[in-house]
């Protein structure tokens, strides 16, 4: 299996621009997670989907962040408008129910 696939791997944008991060989970996995990792705050869960339905979005920092999962093989995390404090590494992870989480390589976002 190719593992969790994320794109782009690196994104540099200017404050105020819209950013879209993409994730393809492992085939057959029914849960998907979006995380953000920073030096200051460590690894934070942003949102969790089960069977394409958002179950817990309490970690989404504010309305500028939105996530969708239109089908079992694709999810997006969108930031609009982006701000410098959104600079971080964003990880997508997936698993089967009650199994371990498998992480993608991450998207390194820099907002200037």
Cβ atoms 93, 4 nearer than 8 A: yes
Task: Please say which residue, 24 or 104, places its beta carbon nearer to other proteins.
Answer: 104
Nearest distance in Å: CB 95, other proteins: 6
With b for 16 or more beta-carbon neighbours within 10 A and e for fewer, the 26-63 pattern comes to: beebebbbbbbeeeeeeeebbbbbeeeeeeeeeebeee
Residue in 11, 67, 106, 109 binding other proteins, rule: CB under 8 A: 106
Residue in 33, 65, 67, 82 binding other proteins, rule: CB under 8 A: 33
Residue in 14, 55, 61, 80 binding other proteins, rule: CB under 8 A: 55
């Amino acid at each position: 299996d190719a593992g969790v696939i994320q794109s782009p791997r690196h994104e540099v944008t200017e404050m105020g621009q819209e950013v879209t991060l993409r994730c393809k989970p492992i085939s057959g996995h029914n849960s998907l997670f979006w995380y953000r990792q920073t030096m200051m705050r460590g690894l934070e869960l942003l949102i969790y989907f089960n069977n394409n339905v958002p179950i817990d979005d309490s970690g989404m920092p504010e309305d500028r962040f939105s996530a969708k999962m239109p089908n079992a093989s694709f999810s997006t995390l969108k930031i609009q408008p982006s701000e410098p404090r959104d600079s971080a590494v964003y990880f997508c992870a997936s698993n089967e129910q009650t199994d371990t989480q498998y992480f993608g390589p991450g998207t390194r976002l820099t907002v200037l």
